[in-house]
Structure 1
Amino acid sequence: MQCARPLSILTDSGLSFVTTKEDLDRTCPSFQEALKCIRAYTRRCMSYDQRKHFKKLFHGTNLMVHELCKNGTYQEEYLTYAPCMKEVESQTKVCFTRYAEAMHDIQTKTNLEEEREEIMDTDIFTYEKRKRETADKGMRDVCCAFQEYLECSSSSTRKQCGEGAEKFSRKFLDQMSSALIRNHCHEYSPQVCGIDASPGSGSMILPSLTMILISLSHFLR
């Protein structure tokens, strides 16, 4: 969707370049225009049920833009932590690189397993069972890779910016995370994934939600 491009700043960079009130004042009109454009698109091109589902998935982004772009506590809190979070960006990019490589490996491995299952001479019941098992494992791998990324990047935030910044980033993450991710990854906590995570870990700089959504949708087919 062309008009959603300005919002990719939120999901792909975590606003790492916006560190002052002047930056927000300059950027927020683009965010608000994007939201207006998206609402018009959904009214024009989606059915009622599709709009209802999309609104649920997009609620966090809409709320975050509203809170961030109005003068108030949330905006003040963000501007307090933003300069330090920008300094952490280079460290979290290392975490993201590892995450992107893991996602690529998961996708490649899953595709190979699916191709192998398709050429095996098995009955339809066995085929569907194996296909479901492959999808379940793929879902777990995607969600655990995401959890590992969060702990890696939040560790950097804690060390350099303190617990206050980490708590704020958790709030940002909760709002920006798609409902699709929350609904399908809630079973895979850091403990389930074997990750030594601190309570409330999160990061201001998110990996591309588009990447996660595409990967999850592959296993939800």
Structure 2
Amino acid sequence: MTIDYSHAREMMVEQQVRPWDVLDLRVLDVLARLPREAFVAESHKALAYADIELPLGHGQKMMKPVVEGRMLQALDLQPGDEVLEIGTGSGFISACLGELAREVLSLEIQPELAERARANLDAAKLGSNVRIEVADALQWQTQRHFDAICITGAVDTVPAHILKWLRPGGRLFVIQGRSPVMEAALIKADGSVQSLFETDIDYLLGAAPAPQFQL
């Protein structure tokens, strides 16, 4: 059976993403154009536009389209922005960020995922302004500052050093807390926090809460 990905993409935007209060036309346009199926495993291509998380290997998953849409909208990216993505995964969000901003640096802790994401971007002829580095963001150090940062895995608490990478006026999208109810939030460089929605996703490697021992 041949799948009409263009139609599936349109249905994803109209039936999943837009009804979940994603109304930014630039974000909707990107999600309606970019071939999400090019960033998932061959065995999951038929599910590329379903309202589910998809496995990427190494225990990592691709976010649901609705969460991706809300994240991209919250970041309110401008054409001149420099963006840091923590957790490259499949490279799909990297591609979306690259379409909305000037430059994207994406950190991926798993070398195999980083390599595959770069191959996905190149095959889709996307991400010419996206650079992928193999690094653990919890240990990574830089003198650079960014207009926007997004963390694609949950954290128990937001690492303070990541907030220091924001420029004045910058913003960080993060999903924090404990399963099964986590809070997606936008944290501004001035310290203000905007609560966005509740969800539940896997933790960024190394960012899970310490185990609680019961007596």
- RCO comparison, higher one (Cα < 8 Å, 6+): 1
Instruction: Determine which structure has the larger helix proportion and give its number.
Output: 1
Instruction: Determine which structure has the larger strand proportion and give its number.
Output: 2
Using the size of structure 2 for normalisation, the TM-score is: 0.27
Structure whose CA Rg is larger: 1
